[in-house]
Structure 1
Amino acid sequence: MSEITFFLTAGFAGMVVLGVPFAIAIALAVTGALIAADIEPAFLAQSIISGSQQFSLLAIPLFMLAGELMSAGGLSQRLVDVASTLVRHMRGGLAMVTVLAALVFAAISGSAPATTAAIGAIMVPAMARAGYDKAFAASIAVSAGVLGPLIPPSIAFVIWGIVAEQSIGRLFLSGIVPGLMIALGLLVICWVHAWRNDVPRLPRASVKEAALAFARGRWALASPLVVLGGIYGGVFTPTEAAAVSCVYALLVGLFIEKQLNWRELPKIFANAMRTSAMVCAIIAVSAGFGILVAQEQIATNFATWLAANVSEKWMALAALNIAFFLLAAVMDEIAIMVILGPMLIAIANKFGVDPIHFGAIIVTNVSIGMAAPPIGYCLFIGMAISGLSLTRISRAMWPQIAWMLVVLFLTTYIPGFALMFQPAGR
């Protein structure tokens, strides 16, 4: 093992175990490798600049800001009201409201934490008051947040599109069926929980009440149509769509719903900037990491070794899924995509996996990791909303995690599952 390889593998892993923030750990690993190889340290600064100057990266802070604006502007409450009139009278209906509202909000924010926070803050207390076990209520909000990275537009697909140099629009489409299947399974889990625990049903919404909810929620429901219709209608790119989402959310919140005011905007912008800075810092410092990995041929060598020792594609994909799930449970999902991206792509190329299909596999894995114990981001949001411990929420999560793994299996081994909505002739 060369000194560069040592710093990029063992050195980086050691710092992560010690709790060093990921962006700093990556930067220190690259710095150590540069010093060991007697390469000009200015390389790190140059790679950070080049890694942060990709136009597609603008979509990340913009989608995060859009999610913050829509949550603060009352659009998430409107979505909950619409979903409530549709299914609240069914067995497990209030929990189903959480899933359906998250499904639509996911098509606005593109973020799992934003979806969990926006919908969970409303629905977890409401479910607890209606007789649901509070741990289950929190676990459904956490699980529904997983839809954020899968239902287009998606921040995770933007990041993978940059790493893998694939069409972000086509990657968005590959997440639709996995996302909808996860949502369908969560609805069934809600029904089963309510049936087993004899949770009382709520009264059916009247036609007048439903019509009023849809009328009040029309601006929230129109947002995904504006964003996705603009992308696939060729009006604007995914990055431009993120900017349109922000403008739309700002105008609706200020002048139509009137739940936003100018004094709140600095705090909303600061929250979005804080989250975006963490994500973009990891991506920026990882540019130099990726260059050195390519120079040392670490990814290529590992892919060659795997191809020589694993003869079947299905076995290689199974091994990757197991490794990815375990890593996602203890490591930042964005860091996994950015750092291991070159190695994962090399393996996919060795086994002839379609790059868009492979992107769907990776992002489905990442999405599950957002809710998987012990450090899934959405779990901590669920803890903050419910006031419950990580252990209690994690115990209630396992039926949902099991279903998500079934969807991951289908996504992995049935390419048409992820590629169903791809444009003809591609």
Structure 2
Amino acid sequence: MTAAGFVLLLLLGVPIGLVLCLAAVLFIVETGNPLLFDSYAMRLFGSLDNFGLLAIPLFILIGELMNGAGITTRLVRLASIFVGAFRGGLAHINLLANMMVASILGSATAQIAMMSQIMVPEMQRAGYDRAMATGITAYGGLLGPIIPPSIVFVVYAVLAQVAVRDMLIAGIVPGLLLGGLFMGTVAALGWRHGFPRGEVPAPGARGTALRQALPMLAIPLVIIGTILGGFGSPTEAAAIGALVALGLGLFHTRSLRLADLPAILLRTGVNTALVLFLVAAAGVFSWVLIYGQIPQMVAVSVQAVAGTPAGFMLLVLALLLVVGTVIDGIPGLIMVVPILLPIATGVYGIDPLHFGVVASITLILGLLSPPVGIGLYVAASVSGVSPLRVFTVALPFFAVACAALVLLAVFPWLSLALL
């Protein structure tokens, strides 16, 4: 009854947070143990009793402040200094700017929407196919939830009960790997399709771009430096980063006004509430799964198929690619982590950080995969292109992302190298 109710609620379009809460209620009714209702509210609110979750509203606030401060445009100009003169220069600028923005924003959907507005019109004016420009921008946005700070990684760390700091550090090498592979893909496509060469920036323009953009790099440097140097927790690093972003917006770019802050804080609060409700619902859902010994039953079935840790990780990769095409990244994590993580760590001895990196990136890739593909639809909507057309022309990036995931699944040291 629980499984049927869960699927029916999803098909009816009920928000995933409510689906998880209602599925837990159905499970309690099905087991005939009403005493579990006495602990329901405690489990719901107790899931939010975690200091690491404070990083989520602060990371969201940094992104809102960055948008208001006009930081993104300056980072795009900075990227043009390094890769603007190559064949496909604007495409390289797009990806490099996405990597810079990813180290501040931490949200794929927000990053895709923002960068599509900035980069797609510029690339089309330079002679790029609009669908290709949209696809490159969308896959560049995929780096948002991988390169620290990352809201997805924070949520996983809370679900898996691992250090948020370690989870964020584990995402650095995979993020750089994906960014490098995407730039290599742009170079190959540029040679094959004859992408236009970028313009060589004039010496004066380079100096101006450097002066305008270098202060903006203080935000990721403060966040990552505080975490890697052990000077503070990710939450404290995010708080300092928010103060730096606020100062830059008010006193350096002067694009931010104190009158803008109420609206920024309201948007931050609404977006934070959405994420934290999912985390609370996940706590109840995980609780009933463990009570019903669901992970143990799944483990028996999985062991019959995957005999080695690498085989298990590849099986997880295939499964989550399918799940990610219909469910967004954070809800997907909330659904699968309580079931698959105990099997990964208890049966196969897989490091929870390694498992988290592979599971998170695989589900994030679903943002750009039909039939749901929220990131794909956001990019297509902003750019005025068919989502299917965007997915088709950007298939080389999808293939490269899948290849990178296979490498990450088979070689744990790629995720654990900096720990």
| Offset, 1:401 | 0.7
Alignment partner, residue 204 of structure 1: 200
Match of 2:394, SS?
helix
Alignment coverage as a number of residue pairs: 416
Question: For the Cα contact (< 8 Å) 2:218–2:244, is it kept in 1?
Answer: no
CA distance in 2, matches of 1:195, 1:148: 27
Point out where structure 1 has 5 or more consecutive residues left out of the alignment. 1-5
Alignment partner, residue 378 of structure 1: 375
CA distance in 2, matches of 1:199, 1:236: 45
- The structure-2 alpha-carbon separation of the partners of 1:374 and 1:267, relative to structure 1 and needing over 3 Å to count, comes to farther
**Alignment deviations for residues 172-219 of structure 1 (CA, whole Å, 9 cap, x no partner):** 222222211211121122223333333332320123221211111112
| Offset, 1:269 | 2.5
Say whether residues 1:352 and 2:346 are aligned partners.
no
Whichever residue aligns with residue 331 of structure 2, its letter is A
| Offset, 1:44 | 2.8
Match of 2:178, SS?
helix
Alignment partner, residue 226 of structure 1: 222
CA distance in 1, matches of 2:154, 2:39: 26
**Alignment deviations for residues 22-41 of structure 1 (CA, whole Å, 9 cap, x no partner):** 01111211222233434253
Match of 1:149, SS?
coil
Question: For the Cα contact (< 8 Å) 2:123–2:130, is it kept in 1?
Answer: yes
Alignment partner, residue 12 of structure 2: 18
Alignment partner, residue 3 of structure 1: none
Normalised by the size of structure 2, how large is the TM-score?
0.95
Matches within 5 A, 1:103-252: 103-252=99-248
Matches within 5 A, 1:295-314: 295-314=291-310
**Alignment deviations for residues 329-360 of structure 1 (CA, whole Å, 9 cap, x no partner):** 11122112112212111221211112221122
Whichever residue aligns with residue 232 of structure 2, its letter is F
Alignment partner, residue 39 of structure 1: 34
| Offset, 1:235 | 1.8
**Alignment deviations for residues 99-122 of structure 1 (CA, whole Å, 9 cap, x no partner):** 101111111122212222332221
The percent of aligned pairs where both chains have the same amino acid is 34
Alignment partner, residue 75 of structure 2: 79
Match of 1:327, SS?
helix
Say whether residues 1:389 and 2:390 are aligned partners.
no
| Offset, 1:311 | 2.2
* Runs of 4+ with >6 A deviation: none
Question: For the Cα contact (< 8 Å) 1:307–1:351, is it kept in 2?
Answer: no
Question: For the Cα contact (< 8 Å) 1:151–1:179, is it kept in 2?
Answer: yes
Normalised by the size of structure 1, how large is the TM-score?
0.93
CA distance in 2, matches of 1:340, 1:138: 30
Point out where structure 2 has 5 or more consecutive residues left out of the alignment. none
- Cα RMSD between the aligned structures? 1.7
CA distance in 2, matches of 1:242, 1:121: 26
CA distance in 2, matches of 1:98, 1:310: 40
Question: For the Cα contact (< 8 Å) 2:6–2:19, is it kept in 1?
Answer: yes
Say whether residues 1:30 and 2:24 are aligned partners.
yes
CA distance in 1, matches of 2:83, 2:299: 48
CA distance in 2, matches of 1:118, 1:241: 24
**Alignment deviations for residues 364-392 of structure 1 (CA, whole Å, 9 cap, x no partner):** 21231222223223212202320112112
Question: For the Cα contact (< 8 Å) 1:147–1:367, is it kept in 2?
Answer: no
Structure 1 counterpart of 2:359, from 354, 357, 362: 362
Question: For the Cα contact (< 8 Å) 1:64–1:114, is it kept in 2?
Answer: no
- The structure-2 alpha-carbon separation of the partners of 1:269 and 1:388, relative to structure 1 and needing over 3 Å to count, comes to farther
| Offset, 1:247 | 1.6
CA distance in 2, matches of 1:204, 1:31: 62
Question: For the Cα contact (< 8 Å) 1:80–1:119, is it kept in 2?
Answer: no
- The structure-2 alpha-carbon separation of the partners of 1:308 and 1:191, relative to structure 1 and needing over 3 Å to count, comes to closer
- The structure-2 alpha-carbon separation of the partners of 1:72 and 1:292, relative to structure 1 and needing over 3 Å to count, comes to same
